[in-house]
Amino acid sequence: MKPRFGLVLIVGIVLLFALLSSPRLESAAVTPTPARPEKLVTPQAPSVVEKATRESRPSIEVPANSELLDVPFTGGVNATTTVNKYTGVVTIQVSGSGQAAGTQLSDAFYLYDPPPPRTADGYYDFTLMINGAHAEDLIGSRPAYDSSHVYTFQIQGNGQALSFGVGDAMTGDNSGKYVVAVSGDTIPGGIVQVPALVLAYFPPDPANPEYLDPAETGWSNQKIVDMQNATRGMVAAGADLISDATRYHGYKDAAAPRYLEYVVQEYREFFEPLPRGYPLGNLPAPRYFGELSPEASTASPAMPNTAYRPHYGNILRDMGICNYVDGQGVKEVWIYGYHSSVIVPDESKMSSKYGDVSNAYPKDEAIPAEYRLPRCANSYVMYNFTYQPGGSSAIGNTVHNRLHQIENVIFFAEKRGYPPNDQNAVGSLFWDDFSVYGAAALRPGYCASCGNTHSPPNTTQGYDYASQTYAENNCETWNPDDGQTTYVNANCSQWGCTDVSFYKWFMQNIPGYENGIMFQGRKLRNWWEAMYDFNAFIDARWSLYEACSIAPDKPALLKPKDKAKVGKRQVALDWNDVACADNYKIIVKDAVTGKKVESKTVFASNHKTKALTAGRTYKWQVKACNALGCSAAARTFTIKAGATFEWERDDWFVVNEKQTAFAGK
């Protein structure tokens, strides 16, 4: 059965970390932004365009050609979003006030009743939020109090829509609203700029400063200037390629628009080693999700004692990353460096309120706080690329890392448990339908869709992007309903027989902007939105589908049959995938006493009960639910008197915990 996805409205904002006062990393020289394709226009860097000015008038005068928004306090942090996407200097005029706490009234910047007007510099602040951050953080300072509650200020747009709300996660006692007028230059719908901060490290050889340090990088006789040129070429060519890869079916539709346009916000070079961070000595070598071919050895060699991750925490704190992310709209950090016996970079890492959803190992949650990426109000992703000679053609690892990040982010949005494994990947929309997890391709009767980062759909061998083997796949017509797709017998000529051409083909088949895919009455979301702004994607809807406008029908219960006699105490319950169901609520009761023995919410259309009592009859009910309501169906089954019990891994942990607790008494 295919999974269903829960609607979990998580409204909240993470407290901005204070920027450290320590000096930034300094380099011997700072080079200008590298050359890039004509379409990559660097946004203006300043986050503070103009400080807010006091407006002394009783009512708001809406500037001409403004987009006007009502922002109700009941909507919380991200109540309303602009239709347009704004770039350059954006003028915002806000009026109105309301109650965002039980005993106080506030406007965009102040709590004013009861008097005197004051600020509330706490976790949420009860004042205006823009893109999940406090408004004053985006303009540099809070304007003077205005008794008319009308304020005008400017911020820097970065090619995306703007969201507005009030800093309050508990909205049940809220009332009132802001009226916001937004004016400025807009960009065409369907195109979102993704600003990136680019950092490159070139440690010189102490004995010959024109060359890279071989002891640090592991490379001999490599001139720094050659690596600089190669890196600039990678940045320019990589940004253009990954932007073009967001054109849904762009390889066959010349009119397909780019959805994301990656731009370089700032480029800096450092002529020093990457700072040493989290020690990796004796840890297993990273084994990333789903990337190994089924024939690969399961043994993982230990890392050498001399190996370290770069100190991403210090690098980004010294750069003042939250100013870039929350003030300038930066969504990604690209670090260019090297992989050697002393430095082992992460392919990607994420900083978000949902944790480190990335290809990192170990994840930020499992390492000391000093080494972690700084947490900002908005989410961002850090990629650590390995530069190499070859200029614009040396972009394979750049895109490879991004595909692994896609694999993690899209699966996380299904809410089946994270990280993916042999259990939760089975039945998922991404790993078990669009892509393929691990050795799943060896299952009898398996037909491929799009493959994965390491294995194209015509082979289970890793890194074999030029395989001439023919195999069936339906990637170019992919739909969750196989009946709506066409399988073709193809080899590597389908994508061009190189790693980079496969990566781009794979990404252009990801359901993107205006994909039009429908399944069981539900439209697929634009999955690229998750790669652009992860926090907002999950906040808005923890699902890969758009919301339904109707409540789901009741489920059809499949197994066990009604009044069946079951020979196992843990009963496998199964039912159909219900259109528009976000989740399923399962209730198991003793049919005689009516006592509830199990109650659980799941997101797949199956569930295994805990161990029940032999010889008793149970009633099981499944409710298919979404935000508009639930529909239920029920049956009964009887556990046979001689029913068996199957020990599972989790059962052993429970028994061990009970024994440990008993021994301690």
In the prediction, which pLDDT does 123 show? 61
The top-scoring range by mean pLDDT among 309-313, 323-327, 515-519 is 309-313
Mean pLDDT computed over 300-321: 85
In the prediction, which pLDDT does 102 show? 67
Higher-confidence residue of 398 and 665: namely 398
Tell me, rounded to whole angstroms, the distance of Cα 308 from its chain centroid. 26
What secondary structure does DSSP assign to 290-354, as a single string?
A: T-S-TTS----PBPPTT-EEE-HHHHHHHHTHHIIIIIS---EEEEEE---SSB---SEEEESTT
Residue 252: CA count within 13 A, CB half-sphere = 8
Q: Considering its fold, how many domains does the chain have in total?
A: 4
The residues facing 473 across adjacent strands are 448, 488
**For residues 21 and 221, is the Cβ–Cβ distance under 8 A?**
no
Examine the pLDDT at 9 and tell me if it is beyond 50. Answer: no
**For residues 525 and 541, is the Cβ–Cβ distance under 8 A?**
yes
Is residue 233 located within the same domain as residue 353? yes
Low-confidence winner among 199-203, 303-307, 517-521 (lowest mean pLDDT): 303-307
Q: DSSP character for 431?
A: I
pLDDT 10s digits, 523-550: 999 999 999 999 989 988 888 998 887 8
Mean pLDDT computed over 509-519: 94
Q: Is residue 377, in this structure, part of any structural domain at all?
A: yes
Torsion from C-alpha of 2, 356, 436, 7, nearest 10 degrees: 20
Examine the pLDDT at 14 and tell me if it is beyond 50. Answer: no
Q: 224-244 and 499-508 are packed helices; what angle lies between their axes, rounded to 10 degrees?
A: 30
Is residue 172 located within the same domain as residue 224? no
For residue 231, give the 3-state DSSP assignment.
helix
Of 187, 204, 225, which residue sits at a domain end? 187
Q: CATH number for the domain including 140?
A: 2.60.120.430
Considering the chain, what is the average pLDDT of its residues? 82
Is residue 438 located within the same domain as residue 511? yes
Of 412, 445, 469, which residue sits at a domain end? 412
Low-confidence winner among 93-97, 185-189, 605-609, 620-624 (lowest mean pLDDT): 185-189
Which domain does 462 fall in, by range? 430-540
Q: Is residue 373, in this structure, part of any structural domain at all?
A: yes
Is residue 521 located within the same domain as residue 650? no
Buried b (16+ CB within 10 A) or exposed e, 394-423: bbbbbbbbbbbbbbbbbbbbbbbebbbeee
Task: Give percent of the chain above pLDDT 90.
Answer: 58
Give the pLDDT band of residue 15 (cuts 50, 70, 90). very low
Q: Which of 82, 151, 455 is nearest to 289 (CA)?
A: 455
Give the pLDDT band of residue 659 (cuts 50, 70, 90). very low
Q: Is residue 45, in this structure, part of any structural domain at all?
A: no
The model scores a pTM over 0.85: no
Is residue 128 located within the same domain as residue 227? no
Is residue 337 located within the same domain as residue 376? yes
Buried b (16+ CB within 10 A) or exposed e, 492-531: bebbeeebbbbbbbbbbbbbbbebebebbebebbbbbbbb
Q: Which of 461, 455, 469 is nearest to 502 (CA)?
A: 455
Q: Is residue 16, in this structure, part of any structural domain at all?
A: no
Is residue 107 located within the same domain as residue 230? no
Is residue 238 located within the same domain as residue 352? yes
- On the question of a cis peptide bond just before residue 3, with omega within 30 degrees of 0, the verdict is no
Of 514, 540, 566, which residue sits at a domain end? 540
Give the pLDDT band of residue 13 (cuts 50, 70, 90). very low
Residue 259: CA count within 13 A, CB half-sphere = 22
What's the CA angle centered on 239, arms 234 and 244, to 5 degrees?
A: 130
In the prediction, which pLDDT does 446 show? 83
pLDDT 10s digits, 68-81: 999 999 988 888 99
Give the pLDDT band of residue 23 (cuts 50, 70, 90). very low
In the prediction, which pLDDT does 31 show? 28
pLDDT 10s digits, 446-460: 888 999 999 999 998
Is residue 196 located within the same domain as residue 181? no
Examine the pLDDT at 346 and tell me if it is beyond 80. Answer: yes
Q: Is residue 650, in this structure, part of any structural domain at all?
A: yes
Q: Is residue 183, in this structure, part of any structural domain at all?
A: yes
Is residue 323 located within the same domain as residue 434? no
CA dist 420 and 289 (Å) reads 7
Examine the pLDDT at 198 and tell me if it is beyond 60. Answer: yes
**For residues 502 and 241, is the Cβ–Cβ distance under 8 A?**
no
Is residue 164 located within the same domain as residue 270? no
Is residue 337 located within the same domain as residue 473? no
Q: Is residue 452, in this structure, part of any structural domain at all?
A: yes
pLDDT 10s digits, 104-163: 899 999 999 889 998 876 667 889 999 888 898 888 788 999 999 999 999 888 777 899
CA dist 558 and 575 (Å) reads 5
- Amino acid, res. 149: H
Q: Is residue 567, in this structure, part of any structural domain at all?
A: yes
Q: CATH number for the domain including 614?
A: 2.60.40.10
555 φ/ψ angles, rounded to the nearest 5 degrees: -75, 155
